[in-house]
C-alpha cells in the first residue's frame, strides 16, 4: 500500500444531462449547447459547493477531440469563463482518448499531493453530436492508431470490439456470451431509468434482453455486435473537486460529504501494436492490479465498481480482467445477475457508458461522481446498500482499445 504524503479527497460533484438520442428533449435538427455551455455548467456546479472560486487553486479539463468535433482546442483557457475568480489561476487540458476524464482526476490528485494546490477543479467534457455518426466514427478512430484506419471497419471502434466479441464467441460459447451481453444491456438501461441525467433515462422498452439479443447485421453494422451492444454518441460534462484536508476545511465541507482516494493505477500500452489476446483486456488487468495493490485491498472489499463499458463485450472482458470471473466465464457471471444493482458486485449503478452515456472526455469524471454518490449515500433512486465491511469503490476508465487505463480506489469516510 502506498504511503501518501497527504490525504486526498473528492467532493462537490456535478453532472450535466448526458444529451443525445434517447433523451426526449434531444432534437438533432435544433441548435444545441456547445462546449462553453457544458464547461460552465459543470464548473459552476462544483464551485457553488466549495464556497466560491476563491477556494479553487487549479483546474483541469479532460477532453478527447474538441479540436475536431468542435474545431476548438486550448480548453484550459475556458476555465476563467466559468467564474472571474479563476482568472490567472493555473488551468490545463489533458487528453488520453476515452480516458481523458480519468487523466484529469489523476492530474488533480498529483497537484494536491505535490502541495501546489489544496483544491483542484476537475471537469470532463465532450460535445460529439456535431457530425453524423459515420463521420464521428472517423474522428473517434483517433483513439487508436490511425495507421490502421484504412484497413479497419467503417465504424472503426465498433469494428475493433466486434473482433474481440468474435474471438470470444469462437473461444467460448456464443449463446452464453450473447446472453451475458444482453444482461449487461438490461442492467445498464434499468439503472439509467433511475438516474434523471442519464441518456437512457426515458427508455421504456419492456423486454430489454430480447431487444439486446437482436442478431448483428454485418451489412449495416458489424459482424458480431449490434447497436445495442454499443454506447451512444453523447454531449455532456461532469465535475468534481480533488481536495486535501485543508481544502475541505477551507470550503467548509465535512469528511462525511467526501470520499477518500486511497489508491490508483495508471497503465499504458503501445498504441501501434495489436492486442496480444483479443479475449483479454491486459491493460485494464494491470491498472486494476496496481490500484488494488496501492490501496492495500482485494476485490472482495469493493462495494461497487464503475467499469468502462463502451461496448458490452468490454464490460464482460473487464469483469474478467479485474478478477470477478475466470477467463471465459465473465458472460455467465453477468447473465446470472451478479453485476446487477442487487447482485454480488453492483457495477455501473447509474447506467455506465451504455446507459448513462459516453461523452468521451467526461466519462472518467462521471465515474468518480457516481462512486461519490454511492459511498456518501447521496445516489437518490440509484442508491445501493453499502456494507460497512466493504467501504470501497473502484472506477476503471479506458482509453482506446485497452491502451490507456486509469483505475482509482475510493473509500467511504465514515
Q: How far apart (Å, rounded) are the C-alpha atoms in residues 104 and 85?
A: 21
pLDDT tens across 47-56, in order?
Answer: 999 999 999 9
Q: How far apart (Å, rounded) are the C-alpha atoms in residues 103 and 342?
A: 30
At residue 160's C-alpha, the angle toward residues 155 and 162, to 5°, is: 90
Q: How far from 168 is each of 136, 154, 176, 316, CA to CA, in Å?
A: 27, 22, 11, 10
Strand 119-127 relative to strand 58-62, pairing? parallel
Task: Quote the pLDDT of residue 279.
Answer: 98
Q: How far apart (Å, rounded) are the C-alpha atoms in residues 319 and 394?
A: 12
- Per-position pLDDT tens, the chain of length 414: 566 789 999 999 999 999 999 999 999 999 999 999 999 999 999 999 999 999 999 999 999 999 999 999 999 999 999 999 999 999 999 999 999 999 999 999 999 999 999 999 999 999 999 998 889 989 999 999 988 888 878 889 999 999 999 999 999 999 999 999 999 999 999 999 999 999 999 999 999 999 999 999 999 999 999 999 999 999 999 999 999 999 999 999 999 999 999 999 999 999 999 999 999 999 999 999 999 999 999 999 999 999 999 999 999 999 999 999 999 999 999 999 999 999 999 999 999 999 999 999 999 999 999 999 999 999 999 999 999 999 999 999 999 999 999 999 999 998
pTM: 0.98
Task: Quote the pLDDT of residue 164.
Answer: 98
CATH number, domain 8-132+233-257: 3.40.47.10
The domain made up of 144-230+261-412 is a member of CATH 3.40.47.10: yes
Contact 67, 35 (CB under 8 A): no
Strand 8-15 relative to strand 58-62, pairing? unpaired
Q: In what order do the strands lie in the sheet with 302-307?
A: 91-94, 58-62, 119-127, 235-243, 8-15, 259-268, 404-412, 392-399, 302-307
Class of residue 265 by CB neighbours under 10 A (exposed 0-12, middle 13-18, buried 19+): buried
Three-class DSSP labels, the chain: CCCCCCCEEEEEEEECCCECCCCCCCCCCCCCCCHHHHHHHHHHHHHCCCCCHHHCCEEEEECCCHHHHCCCCCHHHHHHHHCHHHCCCCEEEECECECHHHHHHHHHHHHHHHCCCCEEEEEEEEECCCCCHHHHHHHHHHHCCHHHCCCCCCCHHHHHHHHHHHHHHHHCCHHHHHHHHHHHHHHHHHHHCCCCCCCCCCCCCCCHHHHHCCCCCCCCCCCCCCHHHECCCCEEEEEEEEECHHHHHHHCCCHHHCEEEEEEEEEECCCCCCCCCCCCCHHHHHHHHHHHHHHCCCHHHEEEEEECCCEHHHHHHHHHHHCCCCCCCHHHHHHCCCCCCCCCCCECCCCHHHHCCCCHHHHHHHHHHHHHHHHHCCCHHHCCCCCCCCCEEEEEEEECCCCEEEEEEEEECC
The three three-digit cell numbers of residue 238, written as one number: 461532469
144-230+261-412 shares the fold of 8-132+233-257: yes
Q: How many CB atoms lie within 10 A of CB 278?
A: 20
Q: How far apart (Å, rounded) are the C-alpha atoms in residues 179 and 121?
A: 41
Contact 50, 119 (CB under 8 A): yes
Q: How far from 114 is each of 104, 233, 369, CA to CA, in Å?
A: 15, 36, 23
Contact 286, 293 (CB under 8 A): no
Q: Return the closest-CA partner of residue 100 out of 125, 74, 83.
A: 125
User: Per-domain residue ranges for the chain?
Assistant: 8-132+233-257, 144-230+261-412
Task: Quote the pLDDT of residue 4.
Answer: 79
Amino acid at each position: 500500500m502506498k504511503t501518501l504524503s497527504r490525504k486526498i479527497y473528492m467532493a462537490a460533484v456535478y453532472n450535466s444531462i448526458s444529451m443525445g438520442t434517447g433523451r426526449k428533449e434531444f432534437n438533432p435538427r435544433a441548435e444545441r449547447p456547445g462546449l462553453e455551455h457544458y464547461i460552465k455548467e459543470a464548473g459552476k456546479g462544483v464551485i457553488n459547493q466549495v464556497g466560491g472560486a476563491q477556494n479553487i487553486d487549479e483546474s483541469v479539463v479532460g477532453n478527447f477531440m474538441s479540436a475536431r468535433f468542435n474545431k476548438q482546442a486550448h480548453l484550459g483557457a475556458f476555465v476563467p469563463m466559468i467564474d472571474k475568480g479563476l482568472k490567472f489561476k493555473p488551468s490545463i487540458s489533458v487528453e488520453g482518448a476515452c480516458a481523458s476524464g480519468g487523466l484529469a482526476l489523476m492530474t488533480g490528485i498529483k497537484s494536491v499531493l505535490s502541495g501546489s494546490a489544496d483544491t483542484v477543479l476537475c471537469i470532463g467534457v465532450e460535445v460529439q453530436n456535431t457530425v453524423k455518426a459515420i463521420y464521428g466514427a472517423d474522428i473517434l478512430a483517433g483513439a487508436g492508431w490511425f495507421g490502421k484506419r484504412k484497413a479497419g471497419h467503417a465504424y472503426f471502434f465498433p469494428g475493433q470490439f466486434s473482433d474481440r466479441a468474435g474471438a470470444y464467441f469462437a473461444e467460448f460459447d456464443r449463446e452464453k456470451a450473447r446472453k451475458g451481453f444482453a444482461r449487461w444491456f438490461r442492467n445498464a438501461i434499468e439503472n439509467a431509468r433511475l438516474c434523471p441525467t442519464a441518456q437512457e433515462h426515458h427508455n421504456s422498452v419492456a423486454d430489454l434482453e430480447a431487444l439486446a439479443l437482436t442478431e448483428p447485421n454485418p451489412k449495416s453494422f458489424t459482424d458480431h455486435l449490434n447497436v445495442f451492444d454499443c454506447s451512444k454518441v453523447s454531449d455532456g460534462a461532469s465535475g468534481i473537486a480533488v481536495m486535501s484536508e485543508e481544502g475541505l476545511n477551507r470550503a467548509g465541507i465535512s469528511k462525511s460529504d467526501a470520499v477518500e482516494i486511497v489508491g490508483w493505477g495508471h497503465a499504458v500500452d503501445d498504441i501501434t501494436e495489436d492486442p496480444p489476446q483479443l479475449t483479454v483486456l491486459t491493460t485494464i488487468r494491470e491498472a486494476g492490479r496496481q490500484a488494488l495493490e496501492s490501496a492495500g485491498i482485494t476485490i472482495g472489499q469493493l462495494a461497487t465498481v464503475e467499469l468502462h463499458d463502451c461496448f458490452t463485450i468490454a464490460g464482460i472482458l473487464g469483469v474478467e480482467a479485474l478478477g470477478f470471473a475466470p477467463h471465459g466465464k465473465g458472460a455467465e457471471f453477468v447473465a446470472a445477475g451478479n453485476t446487477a444493482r442487487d447482485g454480488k458486485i453492483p457495477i455501473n449503478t447509474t447506467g455506465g457508458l451504455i446507459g448513462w452515456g459516453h461523452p468521451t472526455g467526461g466519462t472518467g469524471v462521471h465515474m468518480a461522481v457516481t462512486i461519490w454518490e454511492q459511498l456518501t449515500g447521496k445516489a437518490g433512486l440509484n442508491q445501493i446498500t453499502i456494507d460497512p465491511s466493504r467501504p470501497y469503490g473502484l472506477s476503471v476508465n479506458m482509453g482506446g482499445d485497452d491502451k490507456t487505463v486509469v483505475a482509482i480506489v475510493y473509500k467511504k469516510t465514515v
